[in-house]
């Protein structure tokens, strides 16, 4: 319940433009359960809302590497889609 509340809080704070507080809430969820994908998704969404794609990709890679090392599995397609550029977008913005 606590982790879900932190993730929801991160989303609400992101929507309000309070990115630092949102990142802190999402990071608290990640630290409490490092293998919880929804916590990493919340943190990635904060980075993307700040237009900080490099940090979002870095967080995805950290989570990907952790999953491979601990469970020998990959992140879900849903999480992967968060950090992939839209199809057909081959030029930098």
Report the CATH number that the domain containing residue 28 is assigned in CATH: 1.25.40.10
Please indicate, yes or no, if residue 23 is contained in any of the structural domains: yes
Specify whether the CB–CB gap between 25 and 10 falls below 8 A.
yes
| Cα 11 from Cα 83, distance rounded (Å) | 17
What is the predicted pLDDT for the residue at 86? 72
- Give the tens place of pLDDT for each residue, 48-90: 999 999 999 999 999 999 999 999 999 999 999 999 977 765 5
Please indicate, yes or no, if residue 91 is contained in any of the structural domains: no
Please indicate, yes or no, if residue 13 is contained in any of the structural domains: yes
Question: What six digits make up the tokens of 65?
Answer: 């590497």
Please indicate, yes or no, if residue 78 is contained in any of the structural domains: yes
The domain in which residue 25 lies consists of 2-83
What is the predicted pLDDT for the residue at 28? 98
Please indicate, yes or no, if residue 88 is contained in any of the structural domains: no
Specify whether the CB–CB gap between 88 and 62 falls below 8 A.
no
- If one counts the domains in the chain, the total is 1
Specify whether the CB–CB gap between 60 and 78 falls below 8 A.
no
Please indicate, yes or no, if residue 93 is contained in any of the structural domains: no
- Give the tens place of pLDDT for each residue, 21-57: 999 999 999 999 999 999 999 999 999 999 999 999 9
What is the predicted pLDDT for the residue at 85? 79
Please indicate, yes or no, if residue 33 is contained in any of the structural domains: yes
- Give the tens place of pLDDT for each residue, 5-26: 999 999 999 999 999 999 999 9
Distance of CA 34 to the CA centre of its chain: 12
- Please give the backbone phi and psi of residue 75, each rounded to the nearest 5 degrees, phi first: -60, 160
């Amino acid at each position: 319940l606590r982790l879900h509340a932190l993730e929801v809080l991160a989303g609400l704070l992101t929507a309000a433009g309070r990115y630092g507080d949102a990142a802190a809430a999402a990071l608290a969820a990640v630290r409490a359960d490092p293998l919880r994908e929804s916590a990493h998704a919340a943190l990635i969404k904060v980075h993307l809302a700040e237009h900080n794609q490099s940090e979002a990709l870095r967080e995805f890679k950290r989570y990907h590497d952790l999953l491979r090392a601990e469970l020998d599995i990959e992140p879900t397609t849903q999480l992967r889609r968060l950090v992939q550029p839209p199809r057909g977008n081959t030029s930098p913005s």
